[in-house]
Amino acid sequence: MAATHAALPMTHLLYSNGVSAALSPSNSISNRLLFGDFVGLVSKSRRIARRRIGPRSSRGGSSPSAVRAVLQFEKSDVSSSSKEENRRRSKSNPKVANLEDIISERGACGVGFIANLENKASHEIVKDALTALGCMEHRGGCGADNDSGDGSGVMTSIPWDLFNNWADKQGLASLDKLHTGVGMIFLPQDDSSMKEAKKVITDIFVQEGLEVLGWRPVPVNASIVGYYAKETMPNIQQVFVQIPKEENIDDIERELYICRKLIERSTNSQKWADALYFCSLSNQTIVYKGMLRSEVLGQFYYDLQSELFKSSFAIYHRRYSTNTSPRWPLAQPMRFLGHNGEINTIQGNLNWMQSRETSLKSPVWRGRENEIRPFGNPRASDSANLDSAAEGDLLNHYYIHKDSDQVVSNALDATHLKLWINMALPIGRTPEEALMILVPEAYQNHPTLMIKYPEVLDFYNYYSGQMEAWDGPALLLFSDGKTVGATLDRNGLRPARYWRTLDNVVYVASEVGVLPMDESKVTMKGRLGPGMMIAVDLESGQPANFLSALEMDNEAILRHQQAFGYSSEDVQMVIESMAAQGKEPTFCMGDDIPLAVLSQKPHMLYDYFKQRFAQVTNPAIDPLREGLVMSLEVRIGKRRNILEVGPENASQVFKASHTCMEIVEYSGNLVTLSSPVLNERELESLMKDPYLKPQVLPTFFDIRKGADGSLEKALQRLCEAADDAVRSGCQLLVLSDRSELLEPTRPAIPILLAVGSVHQHLIQNGLRMSASIVADTAQCFSTHHFACLIGYGASAICPHLALETCRQWRLSNKTVNLMRNGKMPTVTIEQAQKNFCKAVKSGLLKILSKMGISLLSSYCGAQIFEIYGLGSEVVDLAFCGSVSSIGGLTLDELARETMSFWVKAFSEDTAKRLENFGFIQSRPGVFLVASALLVDVCCGSRIGREYHGNNPEMSKLLHKAVRQKSESAFLVYQQHLANRPVNVLRDLVEFKSDRPSIPVGKVESAVSIVQRFCTGGMSLGAISRETHEAIAIAMNRLGGKSNSGEGGEDPIRWKPLTDVFDGYSPTLPHLKGLQNGDTATSAIKQVASGRFGVTPTFLVNAEQLEIKIAQGAKPGEGGQLPGKKVSAYIARLRNSKPGVPLISPPPHHDIYSIEDLAQLIFDLHQVNPKAKVSVKLVAEAGIGTVASGVAKGNADVIQISGHDGGTGASPISSIKHAGGPWELGLTETHQTLIANGLRERVILRVDGGFKSGVDVLMAAVMGADEYGFGSVAMIATGCVMARICHTNNCPVGVASQREELRARFPGVPGDLVNYFLYVAEEVRGILAQLGYEKLDDIIGRTDLFRPRHIPLMKTQHLDLSYILSSVGLPKWSSTAIRNQEAHSNGVVLDDILLSDPEISDAIAHEKLVSKTIKIYNVDRAVCGRLAGAIAKKYGDTGFAGQLNIT
């Protein structure tokens, strides 16, 4: 495979211990044995090989590196003359395969091979193979005499020393290794038939121009053969023929193949035809086999005992046939392979094989195709047919690649599979190619293939239309005399172990322990996985190519970081964490800072964008469990006319899997990148590409003449420069803010703005398909940044400052010391950068998966974001088509915000370290009034920390109020909230009234109002048992509803307490402040994607069942519970294992449409008809349409969550950059439901950052019936907002599973009761001021809002008209909507079953009953209601009766 070696070095190889190996391209044995999937590489000679495990071998010389076996379709034993005639007729006239013939030959086997990687032939190889084969005896079968084996055999290279010794004794000249073929033949037993057969064989050889040198009876020990085997034992001889006219090994093999086919055809009419069989006929390999037990094969064949029998490899096989009459020819190995398994598709393979026989033509057969047919034999085993198929495929290699218009047949099963191999080998295809065609791996949507080896996908796709796969569980060992190897089928259901020793011998076996082995000499070992191959050739590896030193000094790095908007949190919590761990950092508690447009702090432009996500109408993808369908591959360069087909449209492939990029193949103008994340050297490689004609466009704007208008002018010039470059033939625009010296009056354009502007400009001018955009930027370090740039037109990004920051971190004294002291895992400077890129790629996959998108190429330019805070001037220029419902910053305002970062790098009082903006963690600082800060932002002075809605000051005030039950303290808490900076959209509106105030005494009671309150879906696991149960008890006292979150519920919580004394109960001994009559059950029980703890008993003990489609803190993602929080108790409730992290799939990613959601709603109504079913959605544009579909799906409750909801653990980018404000989501949902006449069908609930009665009234005016409180409920029970929930180290035991910390839990249910009563009283007070007696009167009344006149620091251009608009009111009051019974499934079959006296009696008294009923497709979720009825009475496992309903 020298041609393959020269074609393409693999970029990365993996040893069995998981250590990556950077191998030199040398031919040294130490670098030969490598691993890989079933992957092929295309070379200039068009030879394709799967990526495989094995030694590098030479294609020249006389010493083969592996074995070739040439397999032939087998003949069956037929005694009747009529059957014989029918059989001959069927061979000449193709017909479909008979299933009875096929199922008569099935088996399971033990297999393996041994190969010397230095290609040194020895007798030790043969001896070891026989020893290993003997240890496979239990894998084979024996006949009725317990002595006739189902079959065993070995394949080796031809033992020329042994045969030359025989030739010398016969007076013959030494055999010419190059021109001599050796046939191992089973001949008829009787002498006359044997002589006839030998004469036919000799005549055919002579007729074909070959010289028969002699016949050699193979010495055997017939005494050890079993009775039944001896009855059919053939006369075994070897024939030696010379092929004088051919010089090429492939031509010699092809000539021998033709001769063998002619012999079989000419003897077909002979009565002894089925007694003639070629075990092998080759210049490379020979097969010794028989109907023998594996233990006696070496004793039967004396040759195998001779020290002169030397081979560099041996394939061995022990057969176990389910046929009661095994035959000598069906023993294995076949001529090319040994097969352990079964081909399930054999009948179809044979039928198609016969169907295509007439179309099989190839120059290599020299017009003799009719003479070498048929290519399949239904009466042969699947192994034999697959062998023949692959053999023929190999031998037809030249023709297939010379003329792709001709079709070559596909492979058959193991005997049937052998037939195809017979065809493949003689026509020049490599063994790897033949098996790739016949037994392809699971290549569709295979990320490794898609990213690294697209040419292999082309190969598979090309042949998938020509050859149907031979499918079934299979371990295939193969050799053509040049390669020896093994491969597993796409499912990998057969065992295959391998190991390599210090003496450069590799072993493969279907089980371990087949040979005594000194473990100290084993250098590597492992097992083959699905679709993997081990073979003798493998491309050498190539090391990564990241920069290994800093390009700037520390002071310059700091100035760049300051100028481009980095904070200490960004560097320490994001970049350094990714560099150290190779994954996105995890955080908790949700996003409670102001929207970027409302913030008093400058923000990078990315923060104005929120990622969209899938919910209900299309499913999210699970990037962990469904990653096979996803790809980050992108293409850059000019895209030509799709209506014209030509080679210029093909891709030029770059390998950038881990590191440096290297051109693999030029075949057009497009360049394929394995991911959009580039390092400096990869970008440098692209810049040198002569086909792309890349051009760098600097992205800076000049403020020497003032800030106003400067950014707009710079963008115009940038777009004009891009336009000129593309019209001049440039296919790659590199937008770069890279600069060695930063200039105070030349700040960088926000790179997202630059990319979006150029992207839109090229689209509008019809040039977008002519060039790609790459961002070379310092303004990119988080996965959200990458996603935004790609979403608005960038094909790739080089985050040069982020990579420099990774290098700085790794080389810092602090990091070095931590690694030296073992406090941090050691990573190299290169690995740190790799880790960062790996984390970015994983994060991108997660972002794609949220929207249900598989391919980054589809995400590129798709603009799947919503904008909060940018005005139409900015959006129309750079982000045209994106939704920006509230308006916002102009270009000049955006320029000033950009400058506020830039000036930090040049101020004399610039800090010597990065500022902590406090965007993630709440930090102490000073809150300043926005109007006083406008100048400060422009000059870059520090303005204190970012405001967090949930802050320590707020929590202290709330604790004091609820613990002391002090109204005055609660008033202080209310005042604190009233004086906070503008934090959320609702802070921009205030109440007005069309009525005079009324006394509070006329307003509905607090007891009535609190029944509308719910707590968030906080799982037991994310928070402690104490917190979870205290919240549930408090809500049950109030008549509100707590939410279980995902994770099940302890049945002990379902009964009221009756044993409370002095606030304590033996039932719940960990709680205090209890009362008799308390229940700790959660009224709302959540059904999430992980289904943790969801059982029939769980479902029937709920008042409401919540389907979590999305979660506010991380929409589009599943729950995440760190392993350290999965205690034994949590694991029991969730039916999992302690200490194992639990990451749910994206919420209901198995719900592919609204119909599927409707079915789940039906299912839940079925199992618990009394429970209302709620569906939890997250605010985003278009949520109204989704909610309408949910209402039509028979949901009782729709919950809208805001982006600022809490979470116990989530990636930071998910917390910060997905989901929208609930104010917009609620408004859209309420108005859309009214417009569609659906509002009365559902209760509308909202949650996200609720803290006060003002929040409740705001939500009510916007249309909500019920109100959810999440984080603040935890605070009321004791949370101090330490924001370390994800670490399991909560100092007060609110969010920890550690016993010693849980013991510190300070809360009692009464604290939360006090809080909600205070909130309800606040609601009453505001209602009284407005002149309304009850909440019903103001729900949906947006006319009670007016804009609040408050100056904002960044802009005065926000548009709140959408929130203030109205389309009318519901026809029913909110109370009437809430008091509806749970929606019904209508009359269902289960009601009929439950009304059956026998069934109801069996349930009531645990009896056995059997019923037969008629069922139709309209009868959905049948017996679900029966299961609910049983679970309600007996629990999940307590029912002793039995209902048999058929």
Residue 1063 phi/psi, 5° resolution? 85, 0
Our measurement of the distance from residue 993's CA atom to the centroid of its chain's CA atoms, rounded to an integer in Å, reads 55
State both tokens at 1275. Answer: 């605070």
Residue 423 phi/psi, 5° resolution? -75, -35
Sequence-distant (≥ 6) Cβ neighbours of residue 616 within 8 angstroms: 1109, 1151, 1154, 1157, 1175, 1177, 1186, 1189, 1190
Comparing CA positions, the residue from 993, 1380, 958, 1002 lying closest to residue 1197 is 1380
How far is the C-alpha of 340 from the C-alpha of 330, rounded, in Å?
Answer: 13
What single-letter amino acid sits at 540? S
How far is the C-alpha of 131 from the C-alpha of 1259, rounded, in Å?
Answer: 80
Helices (H) and strands (E) in the chain, counts: 49, 48
Q: Are 1174 and 1197 in contact (CB under 8 A)?
A: yes
Sequence-distant (≥ 6) Cβ neighbours of residue 405 within 8 angstroms: none
414 burial class (0-12, 13-18, 19+ CB within 10 angstroms)? Answer: buried
Tokens 């950077």 identify what position?
Answer: 22
Q: What is the DSSP string of 947-999?
A: P-SS-HHHHHHHHHHHHHT-HHHHHHHHHHHHTSPP-SGGGGEEE--SS----
Could you tell me the CA-to-CA distances from 93 to 206, 266, 358, 365 in Å, in that order?
29, 16, 11, 21
Tokens 């794609």 identify what position?
Answer: 848
Q: Are 1440 and 1406 in contact (CB under 8 A)?
A: yes
Q: 1360 by DSSP, 3-state: which?
A: coil
Among this protein's residues, is 939 annotated catalytic?
no
Q: Are strands 180-187 and 235-242 parallel, antiparallel or unpaired?
A: antiparallel
Q: 861 by DSSP, 3-state: which?
A: coil
Sequence-distant (≥ 6) Cβ neighbours of residue 561 within 8 angstroms: 571, 801, 805, 914
How far is the C-alpha of 1245 from the C-alpha of 1264, rounded, in Å?
Answer: 6
Q: Are 1402 and 1441 in contact (CB under 8 A)?
A: yes
Q: Are strands 522-527 and 586-587 parallel, antiparallel or unpaired?
A: unpaired
How far is the C-alpha of 1380 from the C-alpha of 1192, rounded, in Å?
Answer: 16
How far is the C-alpha of 416 from the C-alpha of 51, rounded, in Å?
Answer: 26
How far is the C-alpha of 320 from the C-alpha of 151, rounded, in Å?
Answer: 7
Q: Are 1069 and 1049 in contact (CB under 8 A)?
A: no
H, E, C per residue of 1308-1350: CHHHHHHHHHHHHHHHHHHHHHHCCCCHHHCCCCHHHEEECCC
The kind and range of the H/E element at 228 are helix 227-231
Our measurement of the distance from residue 679's CA atom to the centroid of its chain's CA atoms, rounded to an integer in Å, reads 24
Please tell me which residue in 109, 135, 660, 788 is annotated as part of the active site: 109
Tokens 């606040």 identify what position?
Answer: 1322
Could you tell me the CA-to-CA distances from 817 to 91, 289, 804, 811 in Å, in that order?
78, 64, 20, 10
How far is the C-alpha of 358 from the C-alpha of 393, rounded, in Å?
Answer: 16
| Residues acting as catalytic residues | 109
